[in-house]
């Protein structure tokens, strides 16, 4: 090894570390093995300091080194040292892992994630016919009753919310809605209401 290395711990020089990545870009497996032996434990330690548990740090370190092998051609020693480049990859992998942990896994059986079943043509025609009958029946009601029905069923307001909003007694709201339903029952089939 060159004289610029510290012989006590056999730390490769920056030039040697950069050369390993450049050799990996050319498909040199021996250079990758040397780089892996040097960087993998250091990357794992770094990831553990970034709050990854031992197993996650080990897995991420493996991913980082695989990424280094695959993307070695993207390394540019003029932009950053091999160490800076590799530890940036490690930091980004740790951030990605943290983001994945914050997002819950989706359950494929969740009813809300299931496709909406299309309505059968006959059912759709029946619904349109029923809607038409209900609209015609509503036209025969007094406007104050129709207004209260809209507030209750289309706006989703409770009887007490309607009374407060309209400034009328709660009993009046209930009786007008009850009267409206009585009139609708007389004009519509039981299935329409």
What integer pLDDT is reported at residue 125 of this predicted model?
Answer: 82
- CB–CB of 192/130 below 8 Å? yes
Residues 6+ apart with CB under 8 A from 149: 138, 141, 177, 180
What integer pLDDT is reported at residue 54 of this predicted model?
Answer: 86
CA 174 from chain centre, in angstroms, equals: 44
Q: What is the DSSP string of 128-182?
A: HHHHHHHHHHHTTS-HHHHHHHIIIIIS---HHHHHHHHTS-HHHHHHHHHHHHH
pLDDT tens per residue, range 64-123: 999 999 999 998 888 889 999 999 999 988 888 888 777 666 677 777 667 777 777 787
> What's the CATH code, domain 121-192?
1.10.10.10
Residue 188 or 15, more confident: 15
The fraction of the chain above a pLDDT of 90, given in percent, is 24
What integer pLDDT is reported at residue 32 of this predicted model?
Answer: 92
| pLDDT above 80 (res 169) | yes
- CB–CB of 86/40 below 8 Å? no
- CB–CB of 141/184 below 8 Å? yes
Cα–Cα distance measured from residue 129 to residue 135, given in angstroms and rounded to the nearest whole number: 10
Pick the CATH number of 14-102 from 3.30.70.260, 1.10.1740.10, 3.30.590.20, 1.10.3720.10: 1.10.1740.10
Q: What is the DSSP string of 45-64?
A: HHHHHTT--HHHHHHHHHHH
Full 3-state SS string of 96-111: HHHHHHHCCCCCCCCH
Residue 1 pLDDT class (50, 70, 90 cuts) = very low
The fraction of the chain above a pLDDT of 70, given in percent, is 89
Q: Where are the domains of the chain?
A: 14-102, 121-192
What integer pLDDT is reported at residue 112 of this predicted model?
Answer: 67
């Amino acid at each position: 090894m060159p004289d610029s290395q510290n012989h006590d711990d056999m730390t490769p020089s920056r030039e040697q570390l950069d050369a390993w990545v450049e050799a990996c870009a050319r498909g040199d497996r021996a250079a990758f093995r040397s780089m892996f032996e040097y960087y993998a434990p250091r990357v794992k330690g770094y990831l553990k300091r970034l709050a990854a548990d031992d197993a996650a740090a080990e897995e991420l370190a493996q991913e980082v080194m695989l990424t280094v092998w695959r993307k070695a051609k993207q390394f540019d020693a003029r932009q950053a040292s091999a160490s800076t480049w590799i530890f940036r990859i490690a930091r980004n992998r740790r951030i990605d892992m943290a983001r994945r942990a914050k997002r819950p896994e989706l359950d494929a059986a969740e009813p809300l994630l299931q496709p909406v079943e299309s309505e059968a043509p006959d059912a759709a025609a029946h619904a349109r016919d029923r809607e038409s009958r209900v609209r015609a029946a509503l036209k025969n009601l007094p406007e104050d009753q129709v207004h209260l029905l809209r507030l209750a069923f289309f706006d989703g307001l409770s009887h007490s919310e309607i009374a407060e909003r309209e400034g009328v007694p709660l009993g009046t709201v209930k009786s007008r809605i009850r009267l409206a339903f009585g009139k609708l029952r007389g004009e519509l089939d039981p299935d329409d209401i």
